[in-house]
């Protein structure tokens, strides 16, 4: 499926194949049709991914190389206007420092508390805590607590460059990139106070140990930043690793109105059934589903499960057929031996695992069984969504 390039002004959303992880690049049209700004949402990967680069020639590379090549191609000015780290899971941030070497980031935001990003495995130049140190050095700010498209402010920081119900990046009267939710559990303030106490020199050492153990049990997924792009007659929702807790928060705080019925959903938590639940799906009614996926096993299962994908399609009722393409899913219905499979079909489902690795053998690690691809969703001036890789 060739990467579409409309003749007129258009926005481009690139779902970057990184294996088990997440990375999305949004490029707005240049003036006078847009701001020309660039947004990067997440930049991480864990386990060994093999990623297909299709231009100018086909080549299989690792996840970091894939991200760097895409940034070099589509961000020639080497400037990221807005960086969002959706939450403190390393498969959403641990390529960041190496991928953005030589780039300027104007504004960076994250969810959770900064100390949540301390991670000894996240290294750059041989030093641990690479993203944590980068966020400190670049003046990154936490997203406001419990933010929603609309509804009463629920706390959080001040001085952010947007208001409730207003886009972060504005393209027109109501077009642009919106923050739908962040820190939805509402625990940011109390957790921040505990981190400050844990790090304070005067705190009793036994209390420090207790606090650190408590804080390390934190699940960052429900606090994931959920963003939405509105462009012409199209809406794209980026759900990161949000869960049903996040969805319930949005449903409680967001007036259920969308500016369009042309909705693409980047499914929460890599297509897991902990998110993309019935009430949320019936509200937004996505016409197409994208999934940043890997072949990582979770207690003998995997994601996205085919049973959940089919359920989401049923709840939506409007998932559209698409040009036949390959995508990978976990066939949890194939008892007693469920496994990852690749299929070619006309379903409106697009996962970043595109095809079977032709060099794979039973002795090859399972996470190298499939090859990633990078989906390009191009939105033209009429609001049409064209897809290719």
Question: Is position 302 within any domain?
Answer: yes
> What's the whole-number average pLDDT of the chain?
87
Model pLDDT for residues 270-281, shown as the tens digit of each residue: 999 999 999 999
Question: Is position 160 within any domain?
Answer: yes
Question: Is position 215 within any domain?
Answer: yes
Question: Is position 5 within any domain?
Answer: no
pLDDT at 6: 87
Q: Which domain holds residue 136?
A: 10-388
Range 164-171, long-range pairs (CB < 8 A, 24+ positions): 167/230, 168/82, 169/28, 169/35, 169/37, 169/39, 169/81, 169/82, 170/35, 171/28, 171/29, 171/34, 171/35, 171/231
Check: CB of residue 164 under 8 Å from CB of residue 148. yes
Rg (CA), the chain: 20
Residues 297-310 have a mean pLDDT of 88
Per-residue CA distances from 142 to 84, 136, 327 (Å): 10, 11, 35
31 vs 286 pLDDT, higher one: 286
pLDDT at 151 over 60: no
Q: Which residues pair with 386 in a beta bridge?
A: 378
Question: Is position 1 within any domain?
Answer: no
Torsion angle of the four alpha carbons 94, 99, 101, 105, in this order, in degrees rounded to the nearest 10: -80
Give the DSSP letter of residue 33: S
Domain count, the chain: 1
Question: Is position 132 within any domain?
Answer: yes
Question: Is position 50 within any domain?
Answer: yes
Question: Is position 108 within any domain?
Answer: yes
Q: Which residues pair with 226 in a beta bridge?
A: 181
User: Based on the number of CB atoms within 10 Å of its own CB, is 119 exposed (0-12), middle (13-18) or buried (19 or more)?
Assistant: middle
pLDDT at 170: 65
Place of tokens 């919106």: 178
Any idea what the CATH number is for the domain that residue 159 is in?
A: 3.60.15.10
Phi-psi region of 235 (alpha: psi -120 to 50; beta: other; left: phi over 0): beta
φ, ψ for residue 231, nearest 5 deg: -140, 120
């Amino acid at each position: 499926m060739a990467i579409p390039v409309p003749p007129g002004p258009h926005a481009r959303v690139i779902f970057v194949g990184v294996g088990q992880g997440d990375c999305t690049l949004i490029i707005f049209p240049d003036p006078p049709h847009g701001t020309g700004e660039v947004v990067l949402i997440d930049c991480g990967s864990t386990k060994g991914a093999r990623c297909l680069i299709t231009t100018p020639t086909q080549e299989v590379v690792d996840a970091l190389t894939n991200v760097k090549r895409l940034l070099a191609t589509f961000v020639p000015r080497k400037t990221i206007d807005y960086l969002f780290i959706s939450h403190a899971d390393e498969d959403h941030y641990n390529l960041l420092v190496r991928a953005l070497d030589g780039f300027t980031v104007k504004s960076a935001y994250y969810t959770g508390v900064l100390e949540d990003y301390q991670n000894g495995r996240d290294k750059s130049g041989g030093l641990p805590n690479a993203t944590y140190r980068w966020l400190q050095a670049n003046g990154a700010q936490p997203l406001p607590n419990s933010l929603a498209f609309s509804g009463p402010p629920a706390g959080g920081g001040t001085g952010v460059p947007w208001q409730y119900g207003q886009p972060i990046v504005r393209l027109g009267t109501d077009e642009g990139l919106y923050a739908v939710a962040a820190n939805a559990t509402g625990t940011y303030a109390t957790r921040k106070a505990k981190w400050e106490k844990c790090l304070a020199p005067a705190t009793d050492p036994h209390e420090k140990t207790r606090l650190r153990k408590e804080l390390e049990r934190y699940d960052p997924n429900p606090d994931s930043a959920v963003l939405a792009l509105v462009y012409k007659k199209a809406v794209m929702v980026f759900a990161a690793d949000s869960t049903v807790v996040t969805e319930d928060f949005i449903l409680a705080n967001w007036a259920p109105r969308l500016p369009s019925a042309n909705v693409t959903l980047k499914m929460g938590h890599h297509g897991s059934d902990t998110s993309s639940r019935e009430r949320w799906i019936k509200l937004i009614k996505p016409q197409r589903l994208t999934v940043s996926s890997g072949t990582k096993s979770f207690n003998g299962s995997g994601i996205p499960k085919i049973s959940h994908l089919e359920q989401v399609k049923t709840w939506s009722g409007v998932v559209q057929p698409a040009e036949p393409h390959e995508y990978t899913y976990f066939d949890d219905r194939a008892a007693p031996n469920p496994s990852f499979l690749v299929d070619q079909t006309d379903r409106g489902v697009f996962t970043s695992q595109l095809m079977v690795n032709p060099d794979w053998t039973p002795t090859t690690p399972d996470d190298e069984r499939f090859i990633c691809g990078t989906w390009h969703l191009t939105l033209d001036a009429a609001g049409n969504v064209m897809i290719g890789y």
